[in-house]
Amino acid sequence: MMAKCSTQLTLHELHQKKLLKRISGVSFLYPPFGEIIGQLSLALLQHQMPFQIYETYRTPARQKKLISLGLSKIPDVMKSKHVHGLAIDVLLDYRAVRSLKKNKLSRITESDINKKKDTISDDYGGVYNLGVNMVESGANAPRTVVEDKVVLDFWNYLGKLIERQFPELVWGGTFNLKEGQLIGTDPPHIEYRYANEIMKQKRAIQVLKGRGNPGLEEIKV
């Protein structure tokens, strides 16, 4: 009997660890949003823009872990647009920018959030800091420090593509844009324009739970 319980606990632990993994599949998104992201992916290929989808749907368990590590500033798990399948994050392909080394990008994108905070925070946070950084200096307001202008240009090309061809999407490169900054605070982030309304009505989470998205079994809607 003891052996059986031990096996069940191990399976439970494996399941919980799996819920912390990054998901990049479009099929886990809220369907109307996922369809547009599929069109965006095609447009990126057609325009030869070197972006790849890094993360789409995020389980509540993963969002909770990111909050605990200080890697997400959203205080409430269920207020994350990723958890509702209404947002994605994209990354530049390291092969397009000579200053982005494969080993550095691989280390960052494969950082395991099951590890201790002090071993992964710097690397994982770097996902949102490659080439374009926001810094403050004493009493001075935050400004954009460009490590690589090619990187900045690629991000802005992405923003222009979204603005011109995908009015139902909102690009994070416009978030909190202030004087002295060349780009907003979250360029990898792309979300559905109607996300807040859909989240308030719990429409997306109901659909995702009905489709069997991982991690939503105990979420009440």
What CATH number has the domain bearing residue 52? 3.30.1380.10
Domain presence at residue 64: yes
Domain presence at residue 3: no
Q: Is the alpha carbon torsion for 180, 176, 145, 87 positive or negative?
A: negative
Instruction: Write the CB contacts of 13 (distance below 8 Å, at least 6 apart in sequence).
Output: none
Domain presence at residue 1: no
Instruction: For the chain, 221 residues long, give each residue's pLDDT as a single digit of tens.
Output: 444 454 566 787 888 889 999 999 999 999 999 999 999 999 999 999 988 898 999 999 999 998 888 778 888 999 999 999 999 999 887 677 666 555 555 555 555 666 655 544 444 444 444 556 566 666 666 667 777 788 888 889 999 999 999 999 999 999 888 877 888 888 889 999 999 999 999 999 999 999 999 999 988 87
Q: Which of 145, 117, 116, 113 is nearest to 129 (CA)?
A: 145
Q: Is the alpha carbon torsion for 118, 120, 123, 126 positive or negative?
A: negative
CA distance 98 to 102: 10
Domain presence at residue 7: no
Please report the pLDDT score of residue 102 as a whole number: 56
Domain presence at residue 153: yes
Domain presence at residue 16: no
- DSSP code at position 167: T
Domain presence at residue 29: yes
Domain presence at residue 215: no
Query: Which region holds residue 203: left if phi is over 0, alpha if psi is between -120 and 50, else beta?
Result: alpha
Q: What is the model's pTM?
A: 0.84
Please report the pLDDT score of residue 122 as a whole number: 45
Q: In the chain, where does DSSP find H-type helix? A: 2-18, 31-46, 60-68, 102-109, 117-125, 149-165, 195-201, 203-210
Residue 198, Cα to own-chain centre: how many angstroms?
19
Please report the pLDDT score of residue 52 as a whole number: 87
Domain of residue 183: give its range: 22-210
Give the number of domains in the chain: 1
User: Quick one: which H or E segment has residue 142?
Assistant: strand 140-146
Please report the pLDDT score of residue 158 as a whole number: 95
CA distance 186 to 172: 5
